[in-house]
Structure 1
Amino acid sequence: MQRFQDKIALITGAGSGMGAATAKRLADEGATVVLVGRTKEKLDEVAKTLPAERVHVRPADVADPAAVNALVDDVIKTCGRLDILVNNAGVATQSRIPDTDDETWRKIMSINVDGVFYCCRAALPHLIESRGNIVNTSSVSGLGGDWAMSVYNASKGAVSNFTRALALDHGRDGVRVNAVCPSLTRTDMASGIFEKDELLDKFAERMPLGAGAAPEDIAAAIAFLASDDARFISGVNLPVDGGLMASNGQPNMG
């Protein structure tokens, strides 16, 4: 399939995991991809796996509004247009509120929430012009609560409802806005879980399709939502969770 032929896609958090997998998926389907992240070396490594004539590396901190504005201006200057924004940059922490300091709160919110806002605000005029779309990376943690992850839950809950509100505000402008909501995925962020069999077993008990998605599984869902195959879908927070949210929370008694 070449669903993204001649399309320009900006992907944040593109240096590893789901962002890198999404860049590859969109590039494989014809897109020119702009890789965004804080570490140029990681972006360069991802870029080496993509067609050189259809990849641009742009180091930037999405928590810095001036940097985001400059980034989007540069993309328009370099590529001439913007069709797809994938807000994938994110960080996580596990702690209860009494143990959470101000710095941790601000770090999570500045990247997970502020970064999405800054990127959407800068990109929207250009997406309106191209009748493009936005795909945010939220989480199943943005659809329900987790133990000892209230700060992360708050940030992803904000992304999920921000996605809905943007879809309402800009549908008549021709811009669709959706989000994917992964559960446990084999990324650097979740590496600690995959190193502990007892934690994996707990996830496996709750996930009908098995514990842990590959980054490519999330990338496939992002590609669908970003494509014309989803042209009448907007405001959706799509769980990509191996069936986790099919449960009402009661234990398996089978």
Structure 2
Amino acid sequence: MRLKDKVAIITGGAGGIGSGMALAMAKEGAKVVIVDVNEEKGRETEKRLKEFSDSMFINGDITHKSSIQSIVDDVMKTYGKLDVLVNNAHVSKQVPIVDTTDDVMALSFDTGFYPTFYFMQTCYPHLKATRGKVINFASGAGLSGMVNQASYAAAKEAIRGLSRVAANEWGADGINVNLISPIALTPGVEQWSKAFPEEYQGMVDKIPLKKMGDPEQDIGRVAVFLASSDSDYVTGQTLMVDGGSIMLR
């Protein structure tokens, strides 16, 4: 129970990596608030979380700053504190650079970078009060420069830059800010693997550990580490939870 009585917000927590992290944290005693626009999946995940802890789902559109303030206010009203902020939600389109329109770029920044930024700003005083943790998300798309990922890579690298600045500015407040760069077998990846089995196997073959990560057991366990006191002396770091696909130097 490494997270007993901790309160955590996880954006995009209804499914995939988000729900995997939520379950891993709830099983460690955290009260998890999952925020998502998908109410059906959100309610399903909320029901699973409640088997382990006093958790809840908030149906919220985090592309609006005012909605973010309302979400954080609801969390404080319900639980009275905040210990962990996980900025996981992000939507983007895969197109070549020459076809990347302002709308494509805006989609990535408005669902990924800006919500991360606004949640960090809004949650700062509450995290300062608890000497809390921020977990943001990076991507191999930005670190390696994947083709057709201009908007996603740009937003993810912007999040990395923001996180390093926050780690320096907020370190004196006892707030740790780190990032996870994952590879995981999410429902979306699983669908793709069935439609394009050869391409999927080719991707797995390039992973040194020769397997895809599990959202709960692999990504979720690292999120638990970053949310717990075990990571008190770790900040400003990008943890590659990708089976060794990218080895930072």
TM value normalised by structure 1: 0.92
Report what 2:136 is aligned to. Answer: 136
**2:11 matched residue in structure 1:** 12
Judge which range, 132-141 or 201-210, deviates more: 201-210
Cα separation, 1, equivalents of 2:92 and 2:188: 7
Gapped regions of structure 1 (runs ≥ 5): 249-254
Structure 1 vs Structure 2: percent identity of aligned residues? 35
- The number of equivalent residue pairs is 246
Query: 2:238 aligns to what?
Result: 237
Residue 99 of structure 1 is matched in structure 2 by 99
Contact 1:14 1:20 in 2 (8 A): yes
Please give the root-mean-square deviation of Cα atoms over the aligned residues, in Å. Answer: 1.7
For residues 27-106 of structure 1, the aligned pairs below 5 Å read 27-51=26-50, 54-106=54-106
Give 1:189 deviation, angstroms. 4.1
In structure 1, C-alpha distance between the alignment counterparts of 2:115 and 2:173, rounded to whole Å: 22
User: Matches of residues 140-151 of structure 1 in structure 2 within 5 Å?
Assistant: 140-151=140-151
The letter for the 1-side match of 2:240 is P
Change (3 A) 1:226 1:205: same
Please say if 1:174 is aligned against 2:174.
Answer: yes
Pair 1:157-2:157 in alignment: yes
The 3 A distance-change label for structure 1 pair 112 and 188 is farther
Letter in 1 for 2:130: S
Question: 1:102: how far off?
Answer: 2.4
- Provide the rounded CA distance (Å) in 2 between the counterparts of 1:140 and 1:228: 27
Q: Is the partner of 2:4 in helix, strand or coil?
A: coil
**Counterpart AA for 1:12:** T
Deviations 1:159-187 (A, max 9, x none): 1121111101100011000010013x212
- Secondary structure at 2:106's aligned position in 1? helix
Give TM-score, length-normalised by structure 2. Answer: 0.94
| SS of corresponding position for 1:112 | helix
Q: Output one character per residue of 1:134-171: Cα deviation in whole Å (capped at 9) or x when no partner.
A: 00122122322101211111111111121111101100
Q: Which amino acid aligns with 2:66?
A: A
Kindly provide the CA deviation profile for residues 9-49 of structure 1, in whole angstroms up to 9, marking residues without a partner as x: 11110010111011111110011111101122211000111
- CA offset digits 1:47-68 (Å, max 9, x no partner): 1112266111111112110000
Look up the SS of the partner of 2:18 in the other structure. Answer: helix
Provide the secondary structure at the position in 1 that maps to 2:246: helix
Q: Secondary structure at the match of 2:204?
A: helix
